[in-house]
Amino acid sequence: MEALETKAVEELGVDVTTLVNEYGPQNDVPTFIETEEGEIVATELVPYRRDQQEKRLAATERSLTLLGKINPLALEEYTALEERLKFLAEQLEDLKNTKKDLLDIVKEVDDRVQSIFMEAYLETEKHFKEIFGRLFPGGEGRLILTDPDNPLTTGVDVEARPPGKRVKRLSLLSGGEKSLTAVAMLVAIFKSRPSPFYVLDEVEAALDDVNLGRLLGILEELRESSPLIVITHQKRTMEIADALYGVTMRGDGVTEVISQRLRESADA
């Protein structure tokens, strides 16, 4: 008894008088239940019965054993984890805001790219019809978007129908017709988006005299706005040039570049 009294004082800080008055067998004891939220709350008071309280003590000791050892640093660890969670939540919110800003920028860029592309496409398509009709009088050529609903990923198909023919696929055209169609496409792009100068490498090599004359008329228009550098073997193309540059081989086997100005340019 003395040992128990000493233990109560040392471990619980309760003296014998208080222990007997407040926790003696003459006092009623509360019953406890666990709520859905996991909280333990006291309910009614019942008379003290030793057998019931021993069962209650055994059940409580088993529950305490299941809980395992108490971590005295649990509160500090919880506080640290709570601060970490708050920090990560703020970082996550910043990432969400950054993602939203980036998506807005991407949409703005996509809208701008789509606007520029459609503007360039419509201008090129208009010029292609015009140039194709001049190179193929009575023919019909046009550009078609493969996926009109998605301008950012669509392709562009070229349809060409020379006069007197029903075919529209480029693979079914002759070599000269393919060359003229390709030139019409290039000139349409040049007209919609002018360049400081143009370089053409034997674009008229497969053309006959009639088609060559039509092409030279187009080139005459182009050089009014920008210089043309044309690599050619056609004499008629050379005749419209302002200057000729050629590569020849001397008798000793060394190549030499020669030049000849045919007429003064408009700038001069």
Classify domain 194-268 by CATH architecture: 3-Layer(aba) Sandwich (3.40)
Strands 198-201 and 228-231: parallel
Q: What is the mean pLDDT of the chain?
A: 85
User: For the chain, how far is it from start to end, CA to CA, in angstroms?
Assistant: 126
pLDDT at 104: 95
268 pLDDT tier (thresholds 50, 70, 90): very low
Domain 87-192 shares a fold with domain 194-268: yes
pLDDT at 52: 84
With 90 as the cut, is the pLDDT of residue 17 above it? Answer: no
Let me know if domain 87-192 sits in CATH 3.30.70.120: no
**Annotated domain spans of the chain:** 87-192, 194-268
Q: Is residue 224 within 8 Å of 190, Cβ to Cβ?
A: no
pLDDT at 124: 92
3-state secondary structure the chain: CHHHHHHHHHHHCCCHHHHHHHHCCCCCEEEEEECCCCCEEEEEEECCCHHHHHHHHHHHHHHHHHHCCCCCCHHHHHHHHHHHHHHHHHHHHHHHHHHHHHHHHHHHHHHHHHHHHHHHHHHHHHHHHHHHHHHCCCCEEEEEECCCCCCCCCCEEEEEECCCCCCCCHHHCCHHHHHHHHHHHHHHHHHHCCCCCEEEECCCCCCCHHHHHHHHHHHHHHCCCCCEEEECCCHHHHHCCCEEEEEEECCCCCEEEEEEECCCCCCC
Q: Give pLDDT tens digits for 68-100.
A: 777 778 888 899 999 999 999 999 999 999 999
pLDDT at 264: 62
CA distance linking residue 232 with residue 210, whole number of Å: 17
Query: How confident is the model over 232-250, as a mean pLDDT?
Result: 87
pLDDT at 247: 85
Burial of 187 (0-12, 13-18, 19+ CB in 10 A): buried
Higher confidence at residue 155 or residue 164? 155
CB atoms within 10 A of CB 184: 26
> pLDDT > 70: what percent of the chain?
97
pLDDT at 267: 46
